[in-house]
Chain A
Amino acid sequence: MTEQLSRRDFLKLVGTGAASAAVLTGCGPASRYVTREPYTKMPEYTYNGQSTYYATTCRECAAGCGLVVRTMQGRAIKVEGNKYHPVNLGKTCARGQATLHSLYNPDRIQEPSSHVRGDRDFSTTDWDTATGIVAEALKNPAETAFLLGLAPDHLFDLVSDLCKAIGAPAPLRYGALSLFEARTTLGEASRIVFGKPDLLFFDLGNADVTFSFGANFLETWISPVAYTRGFAQMRRGTNRRGYLVQFEARMSQTAMKADEWAAILPGTEELVAAALGKLVAEQKFGSAPALFEAVDVAQAADAAGLPLETLERYATILAQAQNPLVIPGGAALGQSNGLEIAQVILSLNALLGNLGKPGGVYHSPASPLTNSYRRPASIKEISALIEKLNSGKIKTLIVHGVNPVFELPTSLGFEAALAKVPTVISLASFPDETAILADYVFPDHTGLESWGYQQVSAGTGQTLLSGAQPVVAPYYNTKSTTDVLLAAAAVAGGKAAAALPFKDEIEFIQGKLAGLVGAEGGFFNAADMPSFWAEFQQFGGWWKNDPSLGTPSAASALEKKLTPAAAQPEGDGEFHLLVFPSPILAEAGANKPWLQETPDPTTTVMWNSWLEMNPVTAEELGLTDDDVVRVSSAFGEVEVSVYKVPAIRPEVVAIPFGQGHTAYGRYAENRGANPGKLLGAQINAAGDLAFAGVKVKIEKTGKKRPLSRLEGRTRLEAAENKG
């Protein structure tokens, strides 16, 4: 158990921490000149029978939850939430819990290696050679490209600084989750409507009525632990129990928790939101603003497949709410008109007057290190990179923290472009698809062995820099990518060396933190860097005690004229395909055996992919549970077993994203199907992929492949209604 620390104890502790840091400084290069800081007053390193707790930051997604990891005799035993951390307040999700299976994954890449592309036999090299190879790349900055993941931020900052200094193209970063959340679209819509690009903060906890357009905030959306906490707060309600209506074609886990599930047809979100806007405005103010004027409510309801009365009822609920909130989610924005949908929904919030009010929409606090919103790359930008790769202008591609071969829609042609790059360096910890197609793999430490920080951009109202420190010594001969780049820069010399004059990763991070030393209003105040650094590690980051949310202003948003329309789906299939990130596996959970064995919340399927299909549709197609079907779009096809579920529109089918790996270790390989193969390249106005606008065909294969489900199949009608 973590202990309560009083401030006085804490100050004593800081002294000890600083002293021990000083003592340990002289221990040679093998040990850091700074030491790890236990979360509570525990002896550092091993002490028989005693656990030592270290605070760090979760890297399973970019939300940046604070973790406290219980270690014992140098082994990480259990992940717990950091109860002071503003994002998760001591809680974790299933993926955070299973992060130990990253650290101790039996399929980790254990040492720097080179190999023939596509080959699975790696030949070991040493870190000096590795540094030399990276240094070569840095010597030709214009021909070197970096592709990074959404975490960790300190590496992105370092690479950004480096690229800027040496004149290389700025690094691109993205993740499958940012793709399925259409983050760029949300940021762009915020810029258009509120004048400031931002991953907005939706104050779910204080809202009494929340309408969510496909935002699966209880699963993976932006910061699921924080939003789940918000959901719980909303349900507990300060005055009354909050009410949630989920608009989406498939009843997701979030929709299951909603009070009402409005199963609208994919692509009609703009119509529905605009219609709601019109009805609410008419109820509240007597007339609709220009933005919503043009919409034909009856037609919108009809297009969405929703009874008009229901839509009107929803409008009434929204209009009568004290603290209404409307959230635009990924599935809604991943449409050809995604940006318009986002604009309408944000404007609807403006209409409801909740901007900057409890239960409303806020600008997220800026990171303590930057003032600007740093969005992930859009698919448009990724496509540009792919084009560049194809043109042969890039000689070296360095990939860290993402698995583009698997995560990007196959139709973008990343894999083919990769073949045109002479040198591909993967910094992956696992033999994922991209690492298999790289020339070199210089494995970074896994999250729990790493230093770093994460600039948390959503999920909390507090300004927050989440800190990471290794909770255990690196298990294998891996090396921090930051250190590799620092060493390579030194070898490359010139601008690179000048840009990164740091002894090591710690010095680089401390350099970034320098501005926070002595800052006011923080969770802790430290006068000098050693003290600050000790506390930063001890508490797993630095944050302000008070929220620093911004109030969006939508001065003219409602005055614009709008002709809402339905999205243009891609392909000529008869079914809308809804690809959603698996709530359990998300983008990178497939190699963790316990996540594989954790049942999906809605279907209870384990260890595989499935195609969700309405029983009515299944009957029409002559299909039943476990029948393998071939799902094909204009871009590719996959085979997957059918799972009949009444909670999906009959004209929609859904496949979770996360399985279908061809590499990535024994637990992930050759398991399930990757729906990325079905996605097209259609993008919306913000440059994000219209992943929810694909239509597919379904063919019977005649095969049967039983899905492993926690829920038994032997249900009898008589026993259906349990007591």
Chain B
Amino acid sequence: MAVLANSATHAHTSEQDHEAHLREEHLMLDPRPRGEMNAMVMESMQTTSWKFWVAAGIMAILVAVCLFYYWGYMIANGLGVAGVNRPIYWGIFLVNTVFWIGISHAGTFVSALLRVFKAEFRRPFTRAAELMTTFGLVQAGLSIFMHMGRVWLSYWLAPYPNQRGLWPNFHSPLAWDFLAINTYLLSSTMYLFLPLIPDLAMARDRSTGWRKTLYRILALGFRGTEGEWTHLRFAMNLFAFAILPVMFSVHTIVSWDFAAAMRPGWSSTIFGPYFVIGALQSGLSAVAMVLIVVRATMKNMKYFIRPEHLDGLGKLMLIISMSWAYFFFNDYMVQWYNGDKWTDALLHFHEEGPLGWMWYAMLIFNVAVPWLTLWNKNWRRNPTLLFTVGLLVNIAMWFERYIIVPTSLSINRFPFTYQFYKPGVEIPLTIGTISFFILLYMLASRLIPLVPVWEVQEGQMAHSLRKFGKETVVTVSDLE
């Protein structure tokens, strides 16, 4: 559908070049017929090389061994096979929990916040990001369950009374966690599903066999009537607004698991926003990494995901990195300044202890690397470079949580009890959660249209080029 404004009839060649450049640059200005885009997305879903299956097979084996076997082994033998001890009662499982919740934040952030503020570059990859939210939360949930000493009784956390009328303890940050993470998991899944319905209907209309049955069931009978669109549009808008505070609350509550505790280094009022920013820091980098992989490996994705998107994500990453540095310094400064000797000991332990390298690596990867690279537009648009930066930032953010959880737990008010933390079965289980995330994502990429075609089309409808004086600029109409 051509909804573009007419270009000037007497355009200079250079202006035509400029216009062509703009169209090549921006997906929104490079419309293709909806049918073609549909076909491209369907094709991307259904074109699968042997490499994909090899990779998925490896991931499946890793999941079976590293996740399920080792977890079963740990359940059968107790947490003794992990590295936790006294006083380091929390180890990598909680590092992973926080890490995966962090990853999950980016999906919501990209999809909801950018939707609320009508940041148009979000359109082709909202779904890819939302999938990360859901699958990331699955890993976070698994990691929490791994962490529990008696996971077979984990349902006791659910809000229901025992036979004596005893409910869970809502004084406990962990009980809030239970509510918040469940709320977030449910709402992010619903938020993933709602915009997916029209795309499922689209897939239903152009598939056969088992896929047809699957999409038919999932599309729920959606046709696209005025009423259906109205309900859906309202619901999506409401979700976009409402899921943001839920997202902030989740990571804030996770941070309270630490901040509410009476421990040197943990008892910090800035942990809430610091954790939220940390989550975005790792999450956005992960989104960038996933998009780069999707773009490189899936058919037709180079049309939908363009350097402009990497550019946009790169900018966001830079801003978030700066914010992270701000919060980190804020936290560090106050902890350093207050002079409490245990906190002082803890900070020394962070920096000069046996894992001091980790502390420095965290700062370099989280601050120095993004700041030195992402300011440059060309570098931001370079997939390899952005992927590397994203990977380093994610490693750094994992380190950050490692420093906050097991390393900080080494230090308490009784030097007599100080111990080191040596991970045991945590290592395969961490590999297991990463593999499980990748596996879920790979399977989803075969089953779910990764690009919300209707949103792209809607965006392309709204975009046009307009001349202001001699300059042709991109113009966006507000269709809602």
Binding site for B on A (CB under 8 A): 710-716, 718-720, 722-723
Contacts and interface: CB of A to CB of B under 8 A. Distances in A.
A712 B353 CA distance: 14
A713 B417 CA distance: 8
A716 B341 contact: no
B420 interface: yes
Contacts of A712: 415-419
A715 B418 CA distance: 6
B419 to A, nearest CB: 5
B345 A718 contact: yes
B408 interface: no
Interface string B413-425: 1111111100000
B197 to A, nearest CB: 55
A715 B415 contact: yes
Interface residues of B, number: 17
Contact of B414 (A713, A716, A722): A722
A72 B341 CA distance: 50
Contact of A714 (B341, B342, B344, B410): B410
A104 to B, nearest CB: 24
A723 B412 CA distance: 12
A402 to B, nearest CB: 38
B34 interface: no
Contacts of B341: 718-719, 723
Nearest to A711: B416
Contacts of B345: 716, 718-719
A720 B420 contact: no
B358 interface: no
A713 B344 contact: no
Contacts of A718: 341, 344-345, 348
Contacts of A720: 415
A716 B348 contact: yes
A720 B415 CA distance: 7
13 contacts: A712-B416, A712-B419, A714-B410, A714-B411, A715-B418, A716-B411, A716-B415, A718-B344, A718-B348, A719-B342, A719-B345, A719-B411, A720-B415
Given A712-B415, A714-B410, A722-B413, 19 more contacts: A711-B416, A712-B417, A713-B419, A714-B353, A714-B419, A714-B420, A715-B415, A715-B418, A716-B345, A716-B348, A716-B349, A716-B411, A718-B341, A718-B345, A718-B348, A719-B418, A720-B415, A722-B414, A722-B416
A713 B349 contact: no
A719 B353 CA distance: 12
A719 B411 CA distance: 9
A211 to B, nearest CB: 31
A652 to B, nearest CB: 26
A722 B417 CA distance: 12
B248 to A, nearest CB: 35
B395 to A, nearest CB: 24
Nearest to A715: B415
Nearest to A712: B418
Nearest to A722: B415
B353 to A, nearest CB: 7
A719 B418 CA distance: 10
Contacts of B414: 722
A507 to B, nearest CB: 53
Interface in B159-209: none
Contacts, number: 43
B313 to A, nearest CB: 40
A713 B85 CA distance: 14
Nearest to B345: A719
A449 B283 CA distance: 68
Contacts of A723: 341
Nearest to B85: A712
Nearest to B413: A722
Interface in B115-147: none
Contacts of A722: 413-416
Nearest to A723: B341
A545 B349 CA distance: 60
5 interchain residue pairs of minimum CB distance: A714-B418, A719-B345, A712-B418, A718-B345, A712-B419
B348 A713 contact: no
Contacts of A714: 349, 353, 410-411, 418-420
Contacts of B417: 711-712
Contacts of A711: 416-417
A718 B345 CA distance: 6
A716 B343 CA distance: 12
A607 to B, nearest CB: 16
A597 to B, nearest CB: 14
Interface string B399-437: 000000000001101111111100000000000000000
Contacts of B342: 719
Contacts of B413: 722
A708 B17 CA distance: 75
A718 B264 CA distance: 14
A711 B420 CA distance: 12
Contacts of B418: 712-716, 719
Nearest to A604: B416
A710 B411 CA distance: 16
A715 B416 CA distance: 7
A235 B411 CA distance: 35
Interface string B340-369: 011011001100010000000000000000
Nearest to B349: A716
Contacts of B348: 716, 718
Contacts of B416: 710-712, 722
A656 B411 CA distance: 31
A236 to B, nearest CB: 27
A143 B473 CA distance: 118
A716 to B, nearest CB: 6
B443 to A, nearest CB: 44
Contacts of B415: 712, 715-716, 719-720, 722
A418 B420 CA distance: 48
A349 B379 CA distance: 89
Nearest to A720: B415
Nearest to B346: A719
B160 to A, nearest CB: 35
Nearest to B86: A712
A643 to B, nearest CB: 16
A718 B418 CA distance: 13
A580 to B, nearest CB: 23
A716 B353 contact: yes
Contacts of B353: 714, 716
Interface in B415-466: 415-420
A410 B284 CA distance: 70
A710 B86 CA distance: 10
A716 B419 CA distance: 11
B423 to A, nearest CB: 16
B430 to A, nearest CB: 23
Interface centre among A710, A716, A720, A722 (most CB of B within 10 A): A716
B101 to A, nearest CB: 29
B346 to A, nearest CB: 9
A712 B410 CA distance: 10
Which of A712, A715, A723: most chain B CB closer than 10 A? A712
A722 B353 CA distance: 18
Nearest to A714: B418
B119 to A, nearest CB: 47
A418 B386 CA distance: 79
A717 to B, nearest CB: 8
A714 B411 CA distance: 8
A599 to B, nearest CB: 11
Contacts of B344: 718
B403 to A, nearest CB: 15
A711 B344 CA distance: 21
Nearest to A710: B416
A720 B349 CA distance: 12
Contacts of B411: 714, 716, 719
A716 B349 CA distance: 7
A714 B408 CA distance: 12
